[in-house]
Structure 1
Amino acid sequence: MKGSVAKTGKSFKNRVDYILKDDHSFICSNMASDYNNVSDLTDEFKTVSSFRQDIKKPVFHAFLSLPKNEHLTDQQWEEIAKDYLKEMNIDIEKHQYICVRHNDTDKEHIHIVANRVGLDGSVWLGQHSAFNTIAACERLEVKHGLTITQSLKGQKSDVSAPTKNEIEQALRTGEKPARIVLQNALQAAMVGKPDLQTFIDRVQAVGIEPRFNVASTGNVAGVSFSVGDVAFKGSQLGKKYSWNTIKNKVIYDKNRDDELVRSFSARKMMNQIVLDDHLLNQISMTVEPLTESMMILSESVSTALNQTQQTLTRVNNSLEATTTALNSAKNIIDQQAIKLEEQHKKLHKYSTELKNNTIKNQSKLIIKMASIVGVINLIAVLSVGYLIMQKQPTQPRITLDSKAVATSIVEQLRSKR
């Protein structure tokens, strides 16, 4: 049995979505959510991983595969999956996990996705997990009576498995690895041993372009196949897809098919790049740090945006409180203005009344003074008249009551007023 471990990841959604895509069978899990519901499983994983905000990559993903033509029951796979987690020191009483079987290659295999953060907040560190997986698989082969995997170094498999980098890229993009897409399409196109033209028509119908490498002798030296912007030599897909195998799986006649082969010659398509495993690994090693940097940058930008949003919210709340306070102050000022206006009116009325009363009192005083002056003047006149009369010859005596006269004059003045 062969085992491999992907790099720890940040997104449970991408991993769960990948393992539940296409043809799969549920094996086992300790989670409560519907085992076919990506959203619910993701939320359940994230709920527990949120216990430890310091763990930025809580996703663990491993895959175990059998040699070609070997099969296990679901129950056997369940035992192997649990034993593997135990070998890796992942306590399934604390750590969430889900295991499914994929049937998209000729090698039966399972995927295990687990949460590095435990229900109790503990963290599985997973140091040297790749080497520990190899050792665990060797022990599981013995325990479960599986075929002891021999080293494949220097050998070519009939069907090559996706590399670790290809699988990780598929996890990031959510798309099936190009290697598997090509292998499945080529296998289907060779069914029934068609002629070369029919074989080419079949692969082109599903978006695959063949390119034949024609030697200077005119013989076909090899073939490559591309899907999208990725191409593989047939031999890189496995011996089963090399030109030496394909030409025996289809009806090929060199003389008849020479023109057809040359029309798809790689020499005419120099812009088509055929990527070998080494180059793919180099590209992946270059892209992965950039991807990590972009993810870190994205997190930083997201954090900054969240902080800005929180600041704007606080400012908005402060502005609303200030506006409310200003409105309250305006209402108080308006009420005070109304009171002042009322007081001003009262003051004006009081001032007017006071002024009128003053003028009236002054008039009364003047009249009284005028009356007194008039009486004094009258008395003076009467006195003078009396003196004159004393010096005149004796006349008939006229009796004048001065008090009655004065009273009469005062009464006349009052009536005029």
Structure 2
Amino acid sequence: MIGKIFPKSAGSFKNRIRYIFGCTKHDHEISGIRTISFNTMSRDPLPGVLQGNESDLSEMIREFDQVETLRRFAIDSEKAIKPVFHAMMSLRPGESLTTPQWRQAVTKYMTDLGFDESNQYVAVMHQDKDHQHVHIVANRIRLDDTFSMVKDSNERSISLESVSGIEDGFNLSKAPKPKDTWGVSISHAELQASIRDNDLPLKHKMIAKIAGAIEATNQAQGDMFTFTRLLRKQKVYINLTLNEDGQPKGISFEFDGKHISGRQLKRSRLTWHKLITQEGINYDPETISELQDEIARRDSEEQERARIYYYEFIAVSGRRRKPIYIKFTARDYEVQKMIKEILELIDAIFDALFKPQECRLKRKYIEYVPGQQLNISDELELAI
């Protein structure tokens, strides 16, 4: 079973409640909808919805929305709140629970997260072929004299533990915990884009590269310097956010010109704290200056990769010939051998029609750095 908590929201419950009762477009097929449980005064709206009548649904939405108005009058507070809670519990394909079992699972899950009988909620099951999942929409405002809010601190770790208990209670397959896997959910929009572009979403490519660098660093018993260099080889660069003491408190990753924080990528494994405590990437606070220098090496290496050289060869004969240019980068370590073999090939085919302009030890070269003017010189000597 997988438990997922969606981002909370302010305002009306209308969109969430209409969604779970199948009144709005879904990104998956729905072969069946079943109301699991609810605690509102209004009736179960599903029978009416299935007949095209949303009057009971509107009444349930109105009941949910009234609580925030009552709270505002009762405590006279202008503080912005997000009362709309939406979660989902999803079984693996082939597994199923009966309605009473789902009701028990929902009760345990909500109780573990701090909700009680004073919090309005409604739970609806969607059947997608052989895949069952239940949506829960709840009001975080308690309908009592206090109108207090259900706290959401550590709710994701609590959710994981609650789901694990439900799995044990109903003998369901155990889902791997986030710290044990690099799996990251993909939205419907990301999935469609990846199909259209025939490529993985950027976020998933970044995680794959970072995960490989972590594993390689651990195998080499390396440290944060090793990790930085391994990432750089894959054109992934890191940026650190420092605290008042000049020590890292956050980390972000850059790939293909896009920046994503470790927390956004996978906060259970890729924050600065998780990297050095959970993932085993060693870091000595005394080396922060040297580490910053290592991170900054990216700029010089990128510039060197962009530098391009051209060899220029001019035909020596009675007729004027256009120059021949051979391009190579600064990192083509075999370039001299390559040029020599090309010259030998030209000599063999054209009977020495083409010759170097001055001698074999001196070549005119043109150096081009993107964004700068061409630099032409006759002074470079290259032994061939």
| Higher CA-based Rg | 1
Which protein has the bigger strand share?
A: 2
**TM-score, length of structure 1 as denominator length:** 0.38
Name the one with the larger helix percent: 1
